[in-house]
């Protein structure tokens, strides 16, 4: 474009005045552009006014492109007109050009300004690419996208981890999972569905991998068993990595990442094998039937070093809708997909037999009457089915080696944060 007239707009990254020559560096999501003002060429007035533009203001520049090897990206703009579209106040709530990290809370309080930092923005652009690759993957597998309600009357798994809301004269909650609705759609003959949407958990946890609102990628497939949906799941993860590696080289470079695409099939380890592995660790006493704690998960992750599945869980620690093995009902067809750092997804072949489902609900100490809207779909022909739920932010944070799930969510919701 050498010699062409262009109009550029962006944030003022910095201004530098070297006497007879001044630089105005603009920034947008694609990078920096240098505007070079030679006092003799632009005149005193424009030269002076540009020096007073505050950093981070939004500016539009008209001018001529000139190849300049010393400028960022190999060109500069010789301006004929510089217009401030929106001036930034001083001081800034945080400095987007600052190399040193500032406190997470400060960053989240001024998230709009934080996201102007290229390395922060890059993660969200990659997240969008992940979503696109997953949707394409699902469409390619003839899976139908659906939406299920987030305002619901009953808990998915019973329990208390729900946010109550006022809904006219009724009691209602924010849904913790689309699980029951996905299953009802199997009874509706939709066969293969996926949903990408929010889940709400009223847990008071304060960890780097939990939030109270998260985006879940959910799949449910009729006439499939646990093994089949596990291969759809590992295929989805590999595809997301592959797509990002191929299409997000600019963002990966900004983040300083060299993305390794994992290879399918992932290792399958049964819960019982995992317990045996964990018992090699000194001082650990885990009983068969205990849920694996964070320490054990970390130990397994370090030992295995790549994505893996944990299968064949005790029926007692998986939800009522997980199908027990017929010949060994104390074990079920539930699985977790693990990244060495944390759980990414949970899934299972589901109970599709009405009587067994009622029995399982009762066994879990829940009242079947509260699940009538769901159970009804199991009385008139329900195909066998299986599915899973994958946490979007956990997929992205492990892919991009982000320390905290809050770095993978634009406006995170946790125990202490409800704004912005």
| 339 part of the active site | no
Least distance CB 266 / Mg ion (angstroms): 16
CB-wise, 15 or 346, nearer to Mg ion?
Answer: 346
Least distance CB 212 / ligand ATP (angstroms): 7
Q: Mask of contacts with ligand ATP, 207-246, x by CB under 6 A? A: ---xx--x-x------------------------------
Least distance CB 280 / Mg ion (angstroms): 24
| 107 part of the active site | no
Binder among 107, 201, 352, 406 for ligand ATP (CB under 6 A): 201
| 359 part of the active site | no
Binder among 252, 275, 345, 357 for ligand ATP (CB under 6 A): 345
3-state secondary structure of 18: coil
DSSP lists the bridge partners of residue 222 as 385
Q: What is the CA angle 16-19-20, rounded to 5?
A: 110
Contacts for 351 with CB less than 8 Å, ≥ 6 apart: 320, 321, 322, 323, 324, 357, 360
Our measurement of the distance from residue 67's CA atom to the centroid of its chain's CA atoms, rounded to an integer in Å, reads: 40
| 157 part of the active site | no
d(CA 338, CA 296): 12
Least distance CB 343 / ligand ATP (angstroms): 4
DSSP string, 55-108: TT-EEEEEEEEEE-TTSGGGEEEEEEEEEEEEPPPSS-SS-TT--S---HHHHH
Q: Does 346 bind Mg ion (CB under 5 A)?
A: yes
Q: Does 343 bind ligand ATP (CB under 6 A)?
A: yes
- Using alpha carbons, select from 21, 11, 22, 6 the residue that is nearest to residue 62: 6
3-state secondary structure of 45: helix
| 228 part of the active site | no
| 101 part of the active site | no
Q: Is the peptide bond before 300 cis (omega within 30 degrees of 0)?
A: no
- Using alpha carbons, select from 304, 297, 196, 270 the residue that is nearest to residue 240: 196
**Site residues for ligand ATP, window 268-307 (CB under 6 A)?**
none
d(CA 69, CA 347): 54
**Site residues for ligand ATP, window 373-402 (CB under 6 A)?**
389, 391, 393-394
The listed partner (ligand ATP, Mg ion, none) that binds 108, CB under 5 to 8 Å by sort, is none
Token pair belonging to 109: 């309080």
CB-wise, 111 or 394, nearer to ligand ATP?
Answer: 394
Do residues 257 and 244 make contact, with C-beta atoms less than 8 angstroms apart? no
CB-wise, 27 or 360, nearer to ligand ATP?
Answer: 360
| 201 part of the active site | yes
The one segment of 91-99, 137-145, 342-350, 357-365 that binds Mg ion by CB under 5 A: 342-350
Any idea which residues carry the catalytic annotation?
Answer: 201, 203, 209-210, 343, 346, 394
Q: Tell me which residues touch ligand ATP (CB under 6 A).
A: 201, 210-211, 214, 216, 343-346, 389, 391, 393-394
Q: Tell me which residues touch Mg ion (CB under 5 A).
A: 346
């Amino acid at each position: 474009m050498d010699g062409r007239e262009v109009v550029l707009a962006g944030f003022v990254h910095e201004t530098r005045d070297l006497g007879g020559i001044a630089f105005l560096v603009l920034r947008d999501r694609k990078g920096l552009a240098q505007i070079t003002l030679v006092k003799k060429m632009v005149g005193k007035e424009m030269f002076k006014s540009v020096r007073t533009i505050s950093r981070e203001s939004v500016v539009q520049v008209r001018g001529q492109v000139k190849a300049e090897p010393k400028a960022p990206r190999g060109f500069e703009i010789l301006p004929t007109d510089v217009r401030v579209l929106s001036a930034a106040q001083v001081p800034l709530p945080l400095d987007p050009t600052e190399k040193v990290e500032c406190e997470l809370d400060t960053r989240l309080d001024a998230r709009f300004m934080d996201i102007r930092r290229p390395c922060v923005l890059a993660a969200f652009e990659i997240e969008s690419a992940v979503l696109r690759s997953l949707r394409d993957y699902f469409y390619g597998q003839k899976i139908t996208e659906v939406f299920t309600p987030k305002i619901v009357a009953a808990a998915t798994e019973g329990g208390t981890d729900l946010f109550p809301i006022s809904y006219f004269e009724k009691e209602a909650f924010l849904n913790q999972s689309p699980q029951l609705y996905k299953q009802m759609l199997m009874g509706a003959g939709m066969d293969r569905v996926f949903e990408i949407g929010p889940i709400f958990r009223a847990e008071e946890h304060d960890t780097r991998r939990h939030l109270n609102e998260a985006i879940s990628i959910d799949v449910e497939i009729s006439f499939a068993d646990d093994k089949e949906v596990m291969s759809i799941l590992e295929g989805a993860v590999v595809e997301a990595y592959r797509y990002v590696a191929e299409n997000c080289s600019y963002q990966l470079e900004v983040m300083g990442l060299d993305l390794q695409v994992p290879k399918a099939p992932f290792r399958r380890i049964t819960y019982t094998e995992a317990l045996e592995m964990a018992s090699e660790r000194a001082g650990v006493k885990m009983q068969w039937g205990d849920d694996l704690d964070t320490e054990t998960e970390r130990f397994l992750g370090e030992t295995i070093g790549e994505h893996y599945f944990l299968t064949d869980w005790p029926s007692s620690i998986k939800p009522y809708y997980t199908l027990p093995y017929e010949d060994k009902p104390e074990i079920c067809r539930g699985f977790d997909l693990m990244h060495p750092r944390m759980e990414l997804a949970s899934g299972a072949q589901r109970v599709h037999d009405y009587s067994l489902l009622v029995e399982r609900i009762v066994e879990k100490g829940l009242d079947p009457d509260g699940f009538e809207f769901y159970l009804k779909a199991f009385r008139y022909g329900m195909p066998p089915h299986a599915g899973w739920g994958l946490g979007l932010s956990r997929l992205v944070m492990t892919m991009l080696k982000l320390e905290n799930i809050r770095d993978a969510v634009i406006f995170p919701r946790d125990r202490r944060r409800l704004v912005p």
